[in-house]
Amino acid sequence: MANRSGRLIAYAELLCGDRDQARDIVQTALVRAYTRWRHIEHDDPYGYVHRSVTNAVTDHWRKAHRRYEQPVDEIPDVPTPDDTTIEDRRTLLAALARLTPRERAVVVLRHLDDHPERDVADMLNVSVGTVKATCFRALRKLRVIISAEPTFQE
């Protein structure tokens, strides 16, 4: 599982938009998996932890939404080998941060993590129709946001 923790952190960061928070969420998910190891299907422990990360991010959004909404003013620096890639990543993270938590989760799960609509619906405890409608609205918003961003207009 340790060799996939970087992938889990990247996934959590896409969902929540904050690298440090993503690390905390993945650590919590790994601790949960360790304490519940007897009950996990050992043929796919990564799937269990992946689902735990999704649930932890969703729980975090629910708690944060109840307290207050916190706008993302700054995108964390993410080291990559190419300056263009860095800017594209920052633009994508900034665009994702402007979506609602549900829209962001649907886009990340469906298009970046490549899950089928049925699986996304199950992960988020919503209907497939809700996933389709949310995805449609979110992609429309992203098109508007990104079209206004000069780094993507080449």
pLDDT digits over 1-49, tens only?
556 778 888 888 888 888 888 898 888 888 888 887 777 766 677 777 8
Terminus-to-terminus CA distance in the chain, angstroms? 39
Find the angle CA(15)-CA(19)-CA(21) to the nearest 5 degrees: 75
Average pLDDT, the chain: 79
